[in-house]
Structure 1
Amino acid sequence: MENKIQNQYSPDYVSPPGDTLLEVLEERRMTQAELAERTGRPKKTINEIISGKAAITPETALQLELVFNIPASFWNNRERRYREFLAQQEEKERLEKQVAWLKGIPVTAMIKSGWIRLCRDKVEQLREVLNFFAVTSPENWEGIWLKTHINFRKSQAFQSDLGAITAWLRRGEIEASEIACAPYDAKKFQEALQKIRALTVEPPEIFQLKVKRLCAEAGVAVVFVPQLPKTRTSGATHWLNPDKALIQLSLRYKTDDHLWFTFFHEAGHILLHGKRDFFLEGTGVASVNDQEKEEEANKFAADILIPPADLKIFLASVQQFSKANIIQFAAEIGIAPGILVGRLQHDNLLPPSHCNDLKQKLEWA
């Protein structure tokens, strides 16, 4: 994607509307005292408008229209542009002191991903990032994201970067906001999960759209967002509002067994743990340690993918695992063989180096 530098014209100075009023008075050879008398305004008020200390109110603009035959809209627009300029200057001065905050945000990666525009000016780049996060300052960003709790599977072996994690999560929210969903219905979602389980044997170009559609019909938005460097997340879930939940997936491990386990793990949080606020776990970020809920979500994912009773029969019927009996059993229960391989490896029943060619590798288009 081509990243174009964004240039915006911002004047360095906008004169106060009082300057224009003074020009009109001089042109008409009218004194401030006479204008005050004609408008019924105190002379002090007229003087303060000319000096920029007082604003031209809509009422004053109407009076100036009657006196000078210059439309009130002209004076109102002149005042508005001046006040906007003052506000922009104040904001620029405030943001100039906060530019250093960008060092903790993966700006380059976000630009490369097409999430934000590349701006030549550092203050404009800061405004672009704040707009992405829908906040007005780094302090507000911290107030939202450092206090936010999100259920998401994250490697405990590495320290993730908070800026990268929040950018990834925010991108998920943005994409989910564009997905039209029916009001959340737990029963419909459970039914959708059974249909989605059957999609594990399909390639991404088929299952991705069907997963999104089935979940949206039950009130859950599903988005696939590539992880940024140092994000190290595979999935996340939280409620966008009481009627709409979000499941966000990253393809961190790029194999079907990890993708599907992550998806059903996040689905488990939605079904088992209700409409909670964000819940974040892991190291290196603000977190809440709730191992019990993680274990519940893990069990939910494991059991829906491979029913315990079926697995017990399979384990009792084979003396040694082979690609043939793995493929056969996976076909019998209607899941991709890679999922079964991942489960056997996780349970230390199959060496990590065995049967990995049965896992489907996934890549971003």
Structure 2
Amino acid sequence: MMTEQAHMSDLAIPPGEYLEEVLEEMGVSQAELARRMGRPPQAINEILKGEKAITPETALQLEQVVGVPAYFWSNLEASYRLVLAKKVDEQKAEGEVEVASSYPYLELSKLGLVEKTRNTICKVKELRRFFGVSSLFNIGEVKEYSPAFRQVEKDSMSHEALAAWLRAGHIVASGKNTKDFNAERLNDCLSDIKSLTFETDPNILIENLGKLLASCGVALVLIPHFPKTYTTGATFWVDKKKAVIMMSLRGSWSDIFWFSLMHEIGHILLHDKRATFLENGQSDPQYLKQEKEADLFAQKTLIPAKEYNEFLSKHDFSASSIESFSKKIGIFPGVVTGRLQFDGLLPHTVHHHRIRFKWKKA
């Protein structure tokens, strides 16, 4: 009966403490137990003190000598050692409280990705679970998050916040259903995607755009901008069959949204599936080359170069001229205005046809 109660208890009982009780009931001394088991007396003494663990071999010997099943000793030992390990882990968690404060816990809790709590140790454990790491100090070494720690756009950038933003995107993307990725279909859908630039209701836009991209094997993920991330978009792959375009909805101008989106599509169609692309920041020559390629792809896809050059040659950038040109190439006129501003041909105080999206708050 005593064995069953101890086995069912949630309390971690030191195996040696219980073994002492068994020996006392049997009237067997430590020295006698050592002789019956063929073990040195010192080894038995260390087991009783909890200094030496009960191995599977020892558990079998105890079963044969004292009649308590081997699985009981093994389970009791495992439970006890696990509790000791948890105590050590608690101490380690205390050492991670400071680094945990670098992560945007409030934003993650608002998205339902971590539990709401004020307890600092609980925050550490929740962040470990969120990132899938045993220590917050390991995050920078994980391939999935390492791109966030290479960004160098601003000194005030929070690499931790950017890593959290990326992780949130991975979690949301994993839950989205898409067709298997098909580059040919994505290319064929570019004209349909461009036609959505005329949709001025961002909620309808995102719904239709998400469906269109999902049919090509691309998951569209919208995660609000986290403080100090300074990133409008990212591209990565969940696996070989699902690409992900992640948008932060930073800012509200529709033309910036469309350029960023096409930029990310450019990465998907042109570049390595093993890479994670974050807009802005890295100074690596290869990365900068790929960024320029994605920029060029976005520019040419939204506004074909030949038609754009012909439009520029007329030197008429009035609202009516922009509208007429946009109809000709099938793009929302605000996108043309944004391009002219970017090229320095229109002042940033002139906003012909440009609109701001009013995104739903998360």
TM-score exceeds 0.5: yes
Secondary structure of 2:164 counterpart: helix
Structure 2 residue aligned with 1:301: 298
Q: Any residues of structure 2 matched to 1:169-318 within 5 Å, and which?
A: 169-202=166-199, 203-278=201-276, 282=280, 287-289=283-285, 290-316=287-313
Q: Any residues of structure 2 matched to 1:109-128 within 5 Å, and which?
A: 109-128=107-126
Equivalences, count: 349
Whether contact under 8 Å (2:233, 2:279) holds in the other structure is: no
Secondary structure of 2:235 counterpart: strand
* CA drift at 1:314: 3.9
* CA drift at 1:85: 0.8
Secondary structure of 2:129 counterpart: helix
Moved more, 78-87 or 212-221: 212-221
Secondary structure of 1:76 counterpart: helix
Residue by residue over 1:43-67, the C-alpha shift from the partner in whole angstroms, topping out at 9 and shown as x without a partner, is: 4443332121222234443454455
* CA drift at 1:195: 2.5
Q: 1:100 to 1:145 in 2, by over 3 A?
A: farther
Moved more, 156-165 or 169-178: 156-165
Q: 1:110 to 1:76 in 2, by over 3 A?
A: same
* CA drift at 1:22: 0.9
Whether contact under 8 Å (1:265, 1:301) holds in the other structure is: yes
Q: Does residue 130 of the first structure (1) align with residue 131 of the second (2)?
A: no
Q: Which has the higher contact order (CA 8 A, sep 6+)?
A: 1
Aligned-pair Cα RMSD in Å = 3.2
Moved more, 14-23 or 100-109: 100-109
Secondary structure of 2:147 counterpart: coil
Whether contact under 8 Å (1:151, 1:236) holds in the other structure is: no
Q: 1:45 to 1:347 in 2, by over 3 A?
A: same
State the alpha-carbon separation in 2 of the partners of residues 113 and 287 from structure 1.
32
Residue by residue over 1:4-25, the C-alpha shift from the partner in whole angstroms, topping out at 9 and shown as x without a partner, is: xxxxxxxxx9441111111122
Q: Does residue 162 of the first structure (1) align with residue 150 of the second (2)?
A: no
Letter in 1 for 2:219: A
Moved more, 263-272 or 172-181: 172-181
Structure 1 residue aligned with 2:6: none
TM-score (norm 1): 0.82
Structure 1 residue aligned with 2:360: 364
* CA drift at 1:235: 0.6
Q: 1:62 to 1:155 in 2, by over 3 A?
A: closer
Whether contact under 8 Å (1:238, 1:277) holds in the other structure is: yes
Moved more, 87-96 or 109-118: 109-118
Whether contact under 8 Å (1:148, 1:279) holds in the other structure is: no
Structure 2 residue aligned with 1:338: 334
State the alpha-carbon separation in 1 of the partners of residues 67 and 313 from structure 2.
97
Match of 2:50 among 52, 57, 66: 52
Q: Does residue 26 of the first structure (1) align with residue 28 of the second (2)?
A: no
Whether contact under 8 Å (1:150, 1:238) holds in the other structure is: no
Q: 1:326 to 1:210 in 2, by over 3 A?
A: same
Q: 1:193 to 1:151 in 2, by over 3 A?
A: farther
Whether contact under 8 Å (2:47, 2:53) holds in the other structure is: yes
* CA drift at 1:325: 4.1
Whether contact under 8 Å (1:280, 1:287) holds in the other structure is: no
* CA drift at 1:228: 0.9
Residue by residue over 1:194-213, the C-alpha shift from the partner in whole angstroms, topping out at 9 and shown as x without a partner, is: 32222222233333233333
Residue by residue over 1:156-181, the C-alpha shift from the partner in whole angstroms, topping out at 9 and shown as x without a partner, is: 57842212211111211121222244
Structure 1 residue aligned with 2:8: none
Percent identity, aligned pairs only, is 39
* CA drift at 1:225: 0.7
Question: Structure 2 unaligned runs (5+)?
Answer: 1-10
Whether contact under 8 Å (2:234, 2:276) holds in the other structure is: no
Whether contact under 8 Å (1:281, 1:288) holds in the other structure is: no
